[in-house]
Amino acid sequence: MTIELASAENAENPGSTGSAEGTTGASAAGEGSAALDLLAQQVRDLVDAVVLTGAPQDEIVEITAELAVLTDRLRALRRTSRHPLAFDPEGVPRHAGNAVTGSANPYALPLVSQVTPDRTIRAELSFRQVHEGPPTSVHGGVSAMILDHVLGQAVAVAGGAGMTGTLTLRYVRRVPYGEPLVATAEYVRSEGRKSWAEGRIALPDGTPLVEATGLFITPRVWKEEMTGAQ
């Protein structure tokens, strides 16, 4: 098998049309290791293959033993530091280990979002069968995680970065996997350390599937650190 390191950026989000400028997500600034991004993508492919396998029992036992060897090999080289946190030009924090956007995190889609000229967050995405909840539909918690993140990004772009205080969802229609979808979010308003945003996951024609509103709170400790207050 030949591994093309140069293709890591494409491999991490097939089908993404995100450009480097105005794009939020670990791949946007080319941070991290291309090799690690490829490993993460390989593990995503592996997880998909596990979910869909029809292998006989003895084959599964053999494959499991082979994977255990690889897991031990990686575990022996565990790092002690976190992935570095960086801010992109729009002020959105990101790191390659993030559960939604992290190119080096196999658990992440990973989502690659763009900041549009009107400061809306927009991400093209496609769920996979591994995200299934009800038969043929994406698990509601997975949709919530994506919306939590893009709403948080909308607030960060507006200068009010914070932690999610509340997230309210309306599941309008079942969310399919294996189909192109669009997640968008907009900043609404702020009061002191509290900021609100709204967003949705929709079909490409705009038909809403899940709608969300969220309150994000800049933690008191962050403000104190920024202002040097005690």
Ligand X SMILES: CCCCCCCC(=O)SCCNC(=O)CCNC(=O)[C@H](O)C(C)(C)COP(=O)(O)OP(=O)(O)OC[C@H]1O[C@@H](n2cnc3c(N)ncnc32)[C@H](O)[C@@H]1OP(=O)(O)O
Q: Which residues contribute to the site for ligand X (CB under 6 A)? A: 92-93, 148-149, 152-153, 156, 163-166, 192-194, 215, 217, 219-220
Least Å distance between CB 173 and ligand X? 24
**CB of residue 160 to ligand X, shortest distance in Å:** 11
Q: How far is the CB of 138 from ligand X (least distance, A)?
A: 18
Closer residue to ligand X, CB minimum distance, 33 or 164: 164
CB of 192 vs ligand X, minimal distance in Å: 6
Tokens, residue 211: 């709608």
The residue (of 15 and 165) whose beta carbon lies closer to ligand X is 165
Length of the chain in residues, anyone? 230
Nearer of residues 128 and 194 to ligand X, judged by Cβ: 194
Nearer to ligand X, 40 or 161 (CB): 161
Contact in structure between 145 and 100 (CB atoms under 8 Å): yes
Closer to ligand X by CB, 138 or 154: give it.
154
CB of 221 to ligand X, least distance (A): 7
Q: What is the 3-state secondary structure (H, E, C) of 114-141?
A: EECCCCCEEEEECCCHHHECCCCCECHH
Q: Which is nearer to ligand X, 138 or 215 (CB)?
A: 215
Q: What is the DSSP string of 19-69?
A: -STTEESTTTTT-S-HHHHHHHHHHHHHHHHHHH----HHHHHHHHHHHHH
Residue 15, classified by CB atoms within 10 Å of its CB into exposed (0-12), middle (13-18) or buried (19+), is exposed
Residue 75 has phi, psi (to 5 degrees) of: -60, -30
Shortest Å distance, C-beta 60 to ligand X: 35
Minimum CB distance to ligand X smaller for 105 or for 137: 105
Task: List Cβ neighbours of 73 (8 Å cut-off, separation of 6 or more).
Answer: none
The tokens of 122 are what?
């927009």
Q: Which residue is nearest to ligand X (CB)?
A: 152
CB of 108 to ligand X, least distance (A): 13
The tokens for 136 are: 């043929």
- Does the CA dihedral 14-15-18-19 come out positive or negative? positive
